[in-house]
Every structure is written in C-alpha cells, then in structure tokens.
Amino acid sequence: MLCVMSCGVMLLAGALLGPVAAVAAAGPAPVFRLVTHEAGLSNATFIPNAGYPGENAFMAGGVAVGDFNNDGLPDLFVPAGGSGPDKLYINQGDGTFVDEAPLWGVNRWTRAAGVAVGDFNNSGYLDIFVVNYGDFPFPPAVGRCILYENQGPDEHGRWRFVDVAAQAGVHHVFGVVGGMGAAFGDFDLDGRLDLFVSTWIAHPGGNRLFRNNGDGTFANVSQILPPEPSPLRGFTPNFADIDGDGWPDLLLTNDFRTSRLYRNQGTQPDGSFAFENITQAAGISHDCFGMGSVLADLDGDGVLDWFMSDIYRPMSNPPCGNTLYRGLGNDPDGLPRFDNTAAQAGVLDSGWAWGVTAFDANNNGWTDLAVTGGWPAWPSTPTRLYMNRGDGTFADRAAQAGVAWVGQGRGLVHLDYDADGRVDLLIVSNGGQARLYRNETPNPGRFLRIDFDTDAHPCLAPRGVGTRVRVTAGGRTQTQLLDSRTTYLSQSEQTLHFGLGDAEIIDSVEIRWADGSTETLFDVQPDQRIVVPAFHPADFDRNGRFDFFDIAAFLRAFLAGDPAADFNGDGTVSMDDLFAFVQRFLDPCAR
C-alpha cells in the first residue's frame, strides 16, 4: 500500500554499530563488465582536434546523461572533440544505444569542454548546454557556446534540437577561449533553471552566473558574486543548499587553491540577490588542484559531504591529494562547517584525478565513490572504486570489480542504462574510446529509484532540481539532494537511486521540495522506480489542475473542521489556515 501524507563525528552511527556492521557494509566487491561495443558505443570517442587552447586539449572530455525523449531511459550526449561529429546515443531499451545525432541536429564537429543538461525553458524536455571553443575546421573563437533547445516530437514523432544560445544570451560566455564546466540550478527559487559556467584560463572574462529571465533568455548577473582579487581557475561548479536555509549555494571546485563556497543570502530588501564568500570560514582550504567534484552523504549522518578530485603530490608543501570535506553541519551562527578527512578515509591518492561520481555500487545502502584520471608523462594510476565500509573509511576494490582501467580518464558518470536496478559507469577517455561498464553484481541489495514531475507546480525547478529526500528502510535513513549531478565536464543521471540492502519494505520516503513544502510516502515497495508528482500549492484536491474547484473543496473542508484543511500543518484548523491558503493561491511561490 502506498500512502501519501502532506506535511507542512565521522559516521557516528557506524561507530555505534561497531566493526562487524562496518565490514558488512562494504561487503564483497561488486562486479562490472566492459560492454562498450555490445551496447553500441564503439564510436563514442573523444579526440581533441586543433583549436583547443593550451593544455585544455589534454583536460577536455565530457559526457552528459539525460532522458531526452521522455521514455524513462537515460540517453547520452558525447562530444567528439572536433575529430568527428558529436554523438547523441538514444537508449533503445534493450541494453543498446543508437547514435541519432544527425536526426536530432546535434552532429556538429564541436571543440567541446563541459556539458550540462536541464529544462531551461520549462517545456517538459531536457535541453543541453555545451561549452564550445568553436566548430572545426573554423578557427577557435569566443561566442561559440551552444544551447540546444529540445523541440520535442513533431507531428511525425521526430525529435529535434535547435541551437538558441545567441538568442538566449549564453553563447558569448567568456572573454577568452577557455571555458570548462557548467551547471544548471535554481538559485533564486523562481522555478526556472539558472546557469553557471566556469573557465580555467586566468582571465576576468570567465566564471559567469546567468539568471533565467523566464522568457527564453538569460541575464549575466555575475556582479552579485563576491569580488575576487584575481581570476578563479574554475573546473566544476554546482548549486546546492549546504546550510539548510532553503537557498541553493554555489560550490566551485577550482584549480590552484581557488575553490570557493559562496553562500546564497537570498532575496535582499531591494529584491536583488547576493552571495557571501564563506570558503575559509567553512573549512574549505585543503584542496590544491580541485578538478572534479561530487556531493553526497557519504557517512550517513544526514549532512552532505563534498569530495574533490585532485593531484596526489605527497612531497609538496603542503601535501596534495583528493579532499573529502566531511559536512559537520552548521555552527551556532548558522555557518556550515567541513573537515577534510580524505587521508583517514583512505581516498587521498587517485593519481592525477579528474572525473568522480558517487553511487551505491552494490545496493547495500552506503554510497561509494569512483574516480578516474591520468596525465601525459605522469605516473599511471588505475581508476579507483572506493567501496564504503560504513565506518567512515573506504576500500579500493576496482581491481576485483573489473574497473581498474589505466588510461586518460576525464568525464565519469553513473547511470542505470539497462534499468535493472544496478548502477553502471561510463568513463570518457581523452584521446580514445569511452568505456561503459555494466554493473553485473550478483545478488545485490534491493533498491528504490525516484524521479520527480514538477510540471504542475509553477515555482519548482523542472524535474525537481533542489529536492531533498530521506529514505528510511531496514533501520537506517539515507539522505540525498537532487542537485544538477554535475561532475568534471559532465553530468550523471538525475534519477535518485537508493540501495536498500535486504529491506523488505521502505518505511518512509520524506520529500522536502525546494519551496520548503514536504510530503511523506509510507510503506513503499522496494525494487521499483517511482515518479513523485508535485502539485500547485493551492491544488487542494491534488488532481493536477488548479481551478475554482480547489477553492470550493478547501472551503467545504475548512467549514467542516476537516483536518485536511490544516493547510499550514500546525495541527489545528483555524483562520490561519484560511489566510495561508489565500496567500498560496495568490502567490504560489511565497516562502
């Protein structure tokens, strides 16, 4: 029975459970098999052609996962680096992909760097932003970034993308050829996806914040960010509410000790927005060469942790390596605090690391890490698969799992491409072929996959970006935030995947939408994918239509003293509920 109710220390738990529980959490190594060819990805190669500026040619190589045709299966956009046309692999639902880039209009020979996916115009279809240095064979130039607007199917069922970057105002992002990562997120909580784009080359024209105007265009609002004495060397941006005040903050994983944590201060008295630099105060001060990034609750305490890939240089002063900024929660003044625990956790050394992602490889309920990298003339280091022991430490099981590849790994994403409830991995190789690893772990734990439908709510970002979820099953509670799923030059699938171990039933799924409203699902069956709808705040009968009948239904319940009319969730039916209903009726985005 599915019941929906509306409602208005490194791993302390692991320490209390003891070493037996910790060992059980890691369990045997998962099993992955390289299936690139049989899945139809033989031509998914990234070979940077002439025109990449400086070292950017060696740093590039990304991929984006998105359900571009709304069939519930993840597809792949894979740039080729100008050595050939970019690829759009559409999932066939039988374990294979077919490149349909020519049919969709995205088979350009781009010099791509970072890619990001999001429904920027709230059309119901996922769009693609590409940091581009210019199409080959033309000379590289500024003003060549791409925003592929998904047109959806025509009357014949044919799908198509159209580049609208110039009209949208996001084609000329930088004052220099040298952009890197990009991320969508709703920083102003107006239900429309904004965009941040970073550049690595030290130039004041990079690192731009674009606010979505709601009419198909963006405004450059970079001036609301804190001033910096010198350009930031940006790689991987992300939007996420770190301090729990509801406003998405901006996390920038940058090179040469220039990573930043900008706290979103919300709406100012004059209606503007502002960010505050809290990097040092929050403890983000240990990364040397921040590259890839991922946010996840790795120790199960309900607080997000921030993992950055880095270059392992133990003899430098200070020593350098990956950072695992464990989230400690807020201090008494509301400031989020972090502590770098990478060395103690066993995840410090991944060589020259780039791509990283966080996922539950064996569905045991603990989030694991995968890291890939490489650099010409640098000692080779195999791809890592750090399995979470459940006691705040990790064990590299890449060799046993079959993913200890040695090469020039760059973008790394996770997705369940074959919909079997086991999360798979895809690595982009700089100068070679992408590698798809199918998760074939025998007897994995149970799982729950969650997507969101926010089409009926005018103030929530498309597909629930910004939603926080707590799943309780088998005596444990897991927390995930649906951020943009951005990682190094890439984006993983946005479906939330929870491993459940041997839990027979999911006690509760607590959902906190980005507008602060909540609801809880009880007694959910495992081993399924669910799509949770969000309704207009005043859609009282929750039928997906907001109209006069909702007003009438609320008034009837209110006059009858029906508990359903407790609109503000304070446990009583009073005039406060009537006022709250009217407020949300008039302004559904009121906070």
Q: What is the pLDDT of residues 184-203, one digit of tens each?
A: 999 999 999 999 999 999 88
DSSP state, 538? T
572-578 mean pLDDT:
93
194-221 mean pLDDT:
94
Higher pLDDT, 11 or 569: 569
Question: What is d(CA 122, CA 486) in angstroms, rounded to the nearest whole number?
Answer: 20
295-304 mean pLDDT:
98
Q: Minimal CA–CA distance to 521: which of 536, 499, 506, 542?
A: 506
Residue showing tokens 């509801």: 246
What amino acid occupies position 276?
A: E
Contacts of 227 (CB under 8 A, 6+ apart): none
What pLDDT score does 8 carry?
Answer: 34
What pLDDT score does 202 carry?
Answer: 86
pLDDT of 312 higher than 50? yes
What pLDDT score does 27 carry?
Answer: 66
Q: What is the pLDDT of residues 158-178, one digit of tens each?
A: 999 999 999 999 999 988 898
41-50 mean pLDDT:
95
Global pTM value: 0.94
Q: Minimal CA–CA distance to 30: which of 426, 345, 360, 299?
A: 360
Q: What is the pLDDT of residues 50-82, one digit of tens each?
A: 889 989 999 999 999 999 999 999 999 999 999
What pLDDT score does 13 carry?
Answer: 35
Q: What is the pLDDT of residues 233-291, one digit of tens each?
A: 999 999 999 999 999 999 999 999 999 999 999 999 999 999 999 999 999 999 999 99
Say if residues 465 and 38 touch (Cβ distance below 8 Å). Answer: no
Question: What is d(CA 400, CA 403) in angstroms, rounded to the nearest whole number?
Answer: 8
Higher pLDDT, 546 or 505: 505
What pLDDT score does 439 carry?
Answer: 98
Question: What is d(CA 78, CA 435) in angstroms, rounded to the nearest whole number?
Answer: 12
Q: Is 329 left (phi over 0), alpha (psi -120 to 50) or beta?
A: left
Give the containing element (helix H, strand E) for 581.
helix 575-586
Say if residues 138 and 148 touch (Cβ distance below 8 Å). Answer: no
Q: What percent of the chain has pLDDT over 70?
A: 95
DSSP result, 206-234? --EEEEE-SSS-EEE-GGGSPP-SS--EE
pLDDT of 420 higher than 50? yes
Q: Minimal CA–CA distance to 300: which of 9, 8, 578?
A: 9
Say if residues 310 and 291 touch (Cβ distance below 8 Å). Answer: yes
Q: Minimal CA–CA distance to 459: which of 404, 517, 388?
A: 517
What pLDDT score does 21 carry?
Answer: 38
Q: What is the pLDDT of residues 118-155, one digit of tens each?
A: 999 999 999 999 999 999 999 999 999 999 999 999 99
Question: What is d(CA 174, CA 244) in angstroms, rounded to the nearest whole number?
Answer: 32
pLDDT of 468 higher than 80? yes
Say if residues 476 and 300 touch (Cβ distance below 8 Å). Answer: yes
The upper half-sphere exposure of residue 326, i.e. CA atoms within 13 Å in the direction of its Cβ, equals 19
Question: What is d(CA 498, CA 479) in angstroms, rounded to the nearest whole number?
Answer: 9
